[in-house]
């Protein structure tokens, strides 16, 4: 059984960088994609991007210029950085297993990140 545990700062000021990490416990870390998804309060899901264990990434074109997704296979962790945050980036951020032609089977607990001055 795969479990994902995510952590990072929950409150940012505008223009700061959002930084979250997701640790993977159980299961196989390689040969899979790993994804980030966000959900503004009361709204729908938005795919942010994904990373393969090889380091290849795909990102939402609307966020691509501000997003970095990285992976540390030795620690079984992957991370999200979103630069120049604004109030519009306030959302619950989820990490999940899957991506590419794989569904998002296992999810982290979600972290509410609030961007406010």
State the nearest-atom distance from the C-beta of 3 to other proteins, in Å. 12
d(CA 90, CA 41): 8
Question: Which distant-in-sequence residues (6+ apart) come within 8 Å of 90 by Cβ?
Answer: 40, 41, 113, 114, 115, 116
Kindly state whether residue 107 participates in binding other proteins, applying the rule CB under 8 A.
yes
Kindly state whether residue 108 participates in binding other proteins, applying the rule CB under 8 A.
yes
CB atoms within 10 A of CB 11: 11
Span 24-53, contacts to other proteins by CB under 8 A: 35, 37, 44-47, 50
Where on the chain is the footprint of other proteins (CB under 8 A)?
A: 35, 37, 44-47, 50, 58, 60-61, 94, 96, 98-105, 107-110
């Amino acid at each position: 059984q795969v479990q994902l545990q995510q952590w990072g700062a929950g409150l940012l000021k505008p223009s700061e960088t959002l930084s979250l990490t997701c640790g993977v416990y159980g299961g196989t870390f390689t040969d899979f994609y790993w994804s980030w998804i966000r959900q503004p309060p009361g709204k729908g899901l938005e795919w942010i991007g994904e990373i393969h264990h090889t380091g290849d990434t795909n990102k939402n074109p609307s966020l691509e210029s501000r997003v970095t997704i990285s992976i540390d296979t030795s620690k079984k962790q992957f991370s999200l950085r979103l630069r120049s945050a604004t109030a519009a980036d306030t959302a619950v951020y989820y990490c999940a297993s899957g991506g590419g032609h794989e569904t998002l089977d296992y999810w982290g607990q979600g972290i509410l990140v609030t961007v406010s001055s």
